[in-house]
Amino acid sequence: MTNRKATRASSTTGVRGTTVLLAHPGAELYGSDRMLLESASALLDEKARVVVALPSLGPLADMLTNRGAEVIVCRTGVLRKSALSPVGLARLAVDTAGGMIDAWRAVTRFKPQRIYVSTLTIPLWIGIARLRRVPVVAHVHEAESSAPGLQRAALAAPLLAADTVIANSEFSVEVLGDSFNSLGRRTTVVHNGVPGPSRPVQARKVLDSALKIAYVGRLSPRKGVDVAIEAVRLLTEAGVDVRLTLIGTAFSGYEWYEQLLRRTVTESGLSDRVAFLGFQSPVFSRITEADVVVVPSRVDEPFGNTAVEALLCGRPVIASATSGLLEATAGYRSARTVAPGDATSLARSLAEVASNWQYMRTAAWRDVALAEHRHSPSTYRHRVAATLGGLPPRRWKHHPERVGGVAAAGGAQ
């Protein structure tokens, strides 16, 4: 474990004055998006020129440019389960073909000394980096041990071509190692750096009204949002006054699931107890409005950013007892875990939080300091910059001029 956690360089000066190209599969502000923002900030702190390739514009692009990065739009084939259909496969093929052209042009235009590829879902960028002889770091944010072995191996295989691999948890490393032993041995663990609120506010002293529950994240089947809704139904039937706030949206192609959730809420008579707020940024004010946060994922999670965000806000967390969520919540007195997909267990744990409110409230407030120590953004930034700085840079004959702003990669020469 010690070897995996050691970065390749004790200094981050290796990136100073160089150009680093970062590739990421989205432009929103969920877990991996926020970590991409922190990685870019790490390099900007060290006076590197940072160019970020995104498949579209969005709130992430705005925040990157505000911090001093240059954003380009590159078509990108993103590996998602929604691609496992005739229409999805056709779209993936078109995006991948276009992405190869855009990525090649982007490297030609910006001549990066290093490339950073965020997530397993855009392996094309690793291949482009190798073809152009640019050292490449791949940052893994995904891990699902329950997926078929061939599927896991296919997703992990492109990492074999990366110079260095970073993973966000020990669990992610174990999943990679199950597919390829060499990946497990040479992957560096860098726990997510999670910014918290500037001034945490302790939860209310007395539950003098309904227990306020918050869910933060994607509305998708794997995240178990329907389990949280079922737990609310069970508690309501048992005479426990609760309210659930859902903060997040569905992936493109998963709109059907959000429609199903809304129909379930209506048909269960919970319209006055479950609120859909959509995407919210910043999210801390919404978490602070809640008494407890739930993370009811059905399947493996590589880590638990939402759980950490709740702990940073001083709120108790109830998460599924699985994979990276166990790692993220370990050692916190205000964190509880329940069986994945078990609405009855979730309802029971929520009732226990309410009945032991004074203890949970105090424990959650004391847990803030531990969460801040474990997930310091400054520590994360240093380690990411040091890992990239430890790679020998690609030497180019000529360096491009800084152009700034947002551009389309297709316009590169």
Structural domain contains residue 186:
yes
CATH of the domain at 100: 3.40.50.2000
Whether the CA torsion 316, 247, 228, 83 is positive or negative: it is negative
My answer on whether 77 and 179 are in the same domain is yes
Q: Is residue 294 part of a domain?
A: yes
Q: Looking at the structure, do residues 143 and 217 belong to the same domain, yes or no?
A: no
Same-domain pairing of 324 and 381: no
Determine how β-strand 242-247 pairs with β-strand 211-216: parallel
Q: Give domain status of residue 206, yes or no.
A: no
Is residue 337 domain-resident? yes
Same domain, 310 and 352: yes
Q: Are 265 and 179 in a shared domain?
A: no
Say whether both 39 and 177 belong to one domain: yes
Domains in the chain: how many in total?
Answer: 2
203 in a structural domain: no
The answer to whether 19 and 44 are in contact (CB under 8 A) is: no
Output the pLDDT for position 152.
84
The boundaries of the domain holding residue 295 are 211-374
Claim to verify: residue 358 and residue 391 sit in the same structural domain: no
pLDDT by residue for the chain (413 residues), tens only, comes to: 334 444 444 344 689 999 999 999 999 888 889 999 999 999 999 999 999 999 999 999 999 999 999 999 998 877 655 554 555 555 656 667 777 899 999 999 999 999 999 998 899 999 999 999 999 999 998 877 777 888 888 889 999 999 999 999 888 899 899 899 998 888 999 999 998 998 999 999 999 999 999 999 999 999 999 999 999 999 999 999 999 999 999 987 889 999 999 999 999 999 999 999 998 877 899 999 999 999 999 988 888 889 999 999 999 999 999 888 998 999 999 999 999 999 999 999 999 999 999 999 999 999 999 999 999 999 999 999 999 999 999 988 765 555 455 555 544 33
DSSP code for 157: G
Burial of 3 (0-12, 13-18, 19+ CB in 10 A): exposed
Question: Is 322 inside a domain boundary?
Answer: yes
Residues 274, 276, 279: CA angle, nearest 5 degrees: 145
Is 135 part of any domain? yes
C-alpha span between 196 and 38 (Å, rounded): 13
On whether both 186 and 246 belong to a single domain, the answer is no
What is the value of pTM for the model shown?
0.78
C-alpha 185/C-alpha 62 separation (Å) is 37
Determine the Cα–Cα distance for residues 217 and 228; give it in Å rounded to an integer. Answer: 13
Tokens of 126: 């690793």
- Residue 243, classed as helix, strand or coil, is strand
* Helix H or strand E encompassing 236: helix 225-237
Question: Do you find a cis peptide bond into 195, omega within 30 degrees of 0?
Answer: no
18 within domain boundaries: yes
Residues pairing with 407 in the sheet:
72
Cα-only R_g, the chain: 22
Residues 290 and 244 in one domain: yes
DSSP for 74-124, please give it. Answer: -------GGGSSHHHHHHHHHHHHHHHHHHHHHHHHH--SEEEEESTT-TH
Is 157 in the same domain as 36?
Answer: yes
Q: What angle do CA 43, 45, 51 make, to 5 degrees?
A: 40
Q: Please provide the DSSP assignment of 10-41 as one string.
A: S-SGGGTT-EEEEE-S--S-SHHHHHHHHHHH
What amino acid is encoded at 90 in this protein?
A: A
Co-location of 152 and 96 in the same domain? yes
| Together in a domain, 66 and 132 | yes
